[in-house]
Structure 1
């Protein structure tokens, strides 16, 4: 089985006129994948340095807001010496 597409060699027509392929090709747009690719491209362009190993992932907006609030809280505590 191909690790990338998940099909088996025998699933495909190997020249037999009466055999149909088990799969058809379709093109779909995934907005999530598009957003990730856009951010990866921006990071590579703007960082000006190696971005290998840098991961871009989607998380729920509420989770991202909670992370940002926690970061701001910690920064405020550090500024006030708490």
Structure 2
């Protein structure tokens, strides 16, 4: 099983043996299709925005966080900041 897992491409999930390597006797098991992921689009847009701003990008990672969780965290940070200035 470990040998099989090592043979799987971490990016596309296929193995070399999954593909017909030029023979006429088999069809490929996979077909490349286009699929739009809105989450990936939003991440790419934010990365481009960060790059265009000139802000240091070293070590920066864009992550998707549920809006409700983000709002709750922002409210908590605001309350903590308010308490520290009182």
Q: Please, what TM-score do these two structures have when normalized by structure 1? A: 0.86
Q: Which runs of 4+ in 1 moved over 3 A?
A: none
Hey, what's the Cα distance between the residues in 1 that align with 2:43 and 2:12? 20
Cα separation, 2, equivalents of 1:66 and 1:3: 35
List gaps (5 residues or longer) in structure 1.
Answer: none
Alignment length (residue pairs): 79
User: Which of 18, 42, 54 pairs up with 2:60?
Assistant: 54
TM (normalized to structure 2)? 0.83
**RMSD between aligned alpha carbons?**
1.2
* Residue ranges of structure 2 left out of the alignment (5+ in a row): 1-7
